[in-house]
Amino acid sequence: MLKNLRESLRNAPIIKRGSYNYFIHPISDGVPVVRPELLREVIACIVKNANVDVDKIVTIEAMGLPLGSALSQITDIPFIIIRKRKYELPGEIAVHQATGYSKGELYLNGIDKGDRVLIVDDVISTGGTMLATLKALEMAGATVKDIIVVIERGDGKKEIIDMGYDIKTLIKIDVDENGVKVLECIDGEC
Ligand SMILES: O=P(O)(O)OC[C@H]1O[C@H](OP(=O)(O)OP(=O)(O)O)[C@H](O)[C@@H]1O
Ligand SMILES: Nc1nc2[nH]cnc2c(=O)[nH]1
């Protein structure tokens, strides 16, 4: 089921961001090109595995956007984007985000108290972005029914599970300066 994702990750180039080995891939970067068969495969796998009995899908700028958008079209569930830009709307919630190579603020709008949500993102690595997202959603009074992330690297997933949340990842990889190694897939075919 995840043939395109597996093969493309095995060929992903690596760059250094400080000391961090950063892989570049269409799902996580939008470059060099996002092929429809890859996105279709990933979205089908998300629909098959995620709990979509929710009021809203929550994604994170920037690379949660193609995922949230396609998922919303298929499920007919509205989606919201946690932005890196401040809007200063009433009720906007700001949280601090730290990844393995960057720091910044995230801004949540559009959640009503009691909303049941599914969080979708492209990558989990340190878990810093997901922690910030969960904090913002907790502050907004949302109930997180499920979390699904396409690519898992590092130990961030464990932190989220330790906080008591369910989180699924479609593919688990290891990254070093030589490239990407595929470790595990949700379809069991790796
Ligand atoms: O688990 P973490 O260490 O937090 O890493 C995961 C985050 O890193 C990337 O976001 P980034 O902030 O680089 O933004 P982008 O989507 O604009 O590339 C990715 O989209 C995740 O949100
Ligand atoms: N594209 C990309 N996004 C990430 N988010 C966290 N780590 C990575 C990475 O290595 N590559």
Looking at residue 158, which CATH number applies to its domain?
3.40.50.2020
Q: List the chain pLDDT tens, one digit each, 190 residues.
A: 899 999 999 999 999 999 999 999 999 999 999 999 999 999 999 999 999 999 999 999 999 999 999 999 999 999 999 999 999 999 999 999 999 999 999 999 999 999 999 999 999 999 999 999 999 999 999 999 999 999 999 999 999 999 999 999 999 999 999 999 999 999 898 7
Among all ligands shown, which has an atom nearest to the Cα of 128?
1
Is 37 inside a domain boundary? Answer: no
Q: Is residue 3 a part of any domain in this protein?
A: no
Residue 91 sits in which domain range? Answer: 42-174
Ligand 1 center from residue 20 Cα (angstroms): 13
Say if the ipTM goes beyond 0.95. yes
116-124 and 56-60 strand pairing? parallel
Q: What atom of ligand 1 comes closest to residue 122's alpha carbon?
A: 20
Look at the chain and report how many structural domains it folds into.
Answer: 1
Per residue in 90-128, is it b (16+ CB within 10 Å) or e — as a string?
Answer: eeebebebebbeeeeebbbbbbeeebebbbbbbbbbbbb
Ligand 1 neighbours, Cβ below 6 Å, are 60, 62-63, 99-100, 102, 121-129, 156
Q: Which pTM does this prediction carry?
A: 0.98
